[in-house]
Amino acid sequence: MGQKPKVAFVCVHNSCRSQIAEALGRLLAADSFDSYSAGTQTKPQINQDAVRLMKQLYGVDMEQKQHSKLLREIPPVDIVITMGCNVSCPSLPCRYREDWGLDDPTGKGDEIFLEVIRIIEKKVFQLKSRIDNGLL
């Protein structure tokens, strides 16, 4: 088997959805693809609700291994997953691209965050399966 594909999860601010996706990609699919996240703008810190809930649910401290970064700070990637930021979604060269159409939970309650985290987890598993089966 060749090199694992590199997957970039991108949204404008790289502070919440894309960070959760990067963390779950690393946790659940590291054997299938390498996970990165980035945006066209950065925030001084990762969304604190996302950090807290990811610690609770998965025991993952996103602030230890991740930070908000710009598109130019990640290596060239094979697959780009945009989080659902529509026309303002950042563009990166890649061989495959899809949009997950997720609403930004920033500033909303935990139940909205948990719903978004669950959807991202499901989509990470689906992406892993498609990569493992040679569909991407």
Q: How many domains does the chain have?
A: 1
pLDDT digits (tens, 9 = 90+) for 73-83: 999 999 999 99
Alpha carbon 102 to chain centroid, angstroms: 11
CATH of the domain at 114: 3.40.50.2300
Q: 67 lies in a domain?
A: yes
Q: What is the pLDDT of residue 91?
A: 72
Residue 1 lies in a domain: no
The distance in angstroms from the start CA to the end CA of the chain is 14
In a domain, 33, yes or no: yes
- pTM for the model: 0.95
What's the chain's average pLDDT? 94
Cα(34)–Cα(96) distance, integer angstroms = 15
Domain extent, residue 57, equals 6-132
